[in-house]
Homo-oligomer: A and B are copies of this chain.
């Protein structure tokens, strides 16, 4: 079993022990992911770039784990293979952001 599927199984075990599947609609899992992403960002609010690099590692782990948890549950709900979708996306981005045009530039593909 892939690492992703192992984690999804653990997350489902946790969820099912609490009978929480009823709340885990696709729309609310996505909302939860977005809220956790905001909590992650709060670690860096009013901080400089340099201060942000020295973030409290325990807090970073916790907030990032929450983000992964909801992202994995969304993948699990729609039977998506995380490895496959990320590799596919890198492939498409290779086309959207050709090295010669995007090297050293932070511009979006539609501004290149």
Interface residues of A (CB under 8 A from B): 2-4, 6-7, 10-11, 14, 17-20, 22-23, 25-28, 30-35, 37-49, 52-53, 55, 57, 60-62, 64-69, 71-72, 74-75, 78, 80, 82-83, 85-90, 92-94, 97, 99, 102-106
Contacts and interface: CB of A to CB of B under 8 A. Distances in A.
Contacts of A37: 30, 33-34, 37-38, 67
Contact of A71 (B64, B92, B97): B64
Nearest to A79: B57
Given A42-B35, A44-B30, A86 B68 contact: yes
Contacts of A103: 17-19
Contacts of A11: 86, 90
Nearest to A49: B25
Copies of this chain present in the complex amount to 4
B57 A69 contact: no
B27 A67 contact: no
B18 A97 contact: yes
Contact of A86 (B2, B69, B97): B69
Contacts of A25: 49, 52-53
